[in-house]
Amino acid sequence: MAAVTPPLLVTRNLSRFFGGLKAVDRVDFALPEGQVRAIIGPNGAGKTTFVSLVCGRILPSSGSILFDGREISHEPAHRRVRAGIAYTFQITSIFPNLTVFDNVALAAQRHLLDQKRVRPTEKTLQDACTKALDQVGLAQRASHRAGNLAYGHQRLVEIAMGLALRPRLLILDEPTQGLSDEEIEAFIRLVREIRREATILLIEHNMDVVMALAECITVMDQGRILAEGPPAAIRADAAVQQAYLGG
């Protein structure tokens, strides 16, 4: 009998309270390595709080988080990045006064320093940045000032920064927000390429994108998991329809 591979990410009884508000309430969650998982739910369901707990932007009130079998519940965000977790924000967090290349170079240099413990050579850094920019289709804009790019391209710069960290888990928080239909189609192609190298956790309101990409969908409502399963099962779930998909 083949050995069962443990999930890459596990949360157990994970909770985060803000005063009397239970933003995340006793969530048990498991994400297999190599999967594209979508988290959906109405505004205020706890999705962004949940992934903020995973990446270390905030700490849990109770419960635990395991990444690759190791407890990380109270580790700072930079150590989680070093362990292989990258998170792109709901609102772009690029450095607008730097070039596209320099934005990506900051992330690539951090990864290379963590891995090699020595400052990377100019060629090593160039190769890492070029690869990430090629993946997102921005190689021709490498010398452009990031703040001058269209919003959709700024989102791609941030994804390239995430890819330059060479993550095992890439968390994308509403990545298609503000994108045109053409840019959304390009994003879908990009995620299908990224999944060859990383596990992807996607928070997304665009259900066409979710259904096109996700192998499994987790539905959150009022800080808890309401339902979980493949896209067809989630689409047919009466409780999900009532809470989120509009009946």
- In a structure prediction context, what are the per-residue pLDDT tens digits for the chain, which is 247 residues long? 445 678 999 999 999 999 889 999 999 999 999 999 999 998 899 999 999 999 999 999 999 999 999 999 999 999 999 999 999 865 567 899 999 999 999 999 888 877 766 677 888 899 999 999 999 989 999 999 999 998 888 989 999 999 999 999 999 998 888 788 988 998 999 999 999 999 999 999 999 999 999 999 999 999 999 999 999 999 888 888 776 655 4
Give the residue extent of every domain in the chain.
1-74+167-247, 85-166
Contacts of residue 154, defined as CB under 8 A and 6 or more positions apart, other chains included, come to 92, 94, 146, 147
Burial degree of 91 (CB within 10 A; 0-12, 13-18, 19+): exposed
CATH superfamily of 85-166: P-loop containing nucleotide triphosphate hydrolases (3.40.50.300)
Q: What does pTM read for this prediction?
A: 0.90
In one-letter notation, the amino acid at residue 119 is R
In this structure, the number of other CB atoms found within 10 A of the CB of residue 127 comes to 13
> What is the CATH code of the structural domain delimited by 1-74+167-247?
3.40.50.300
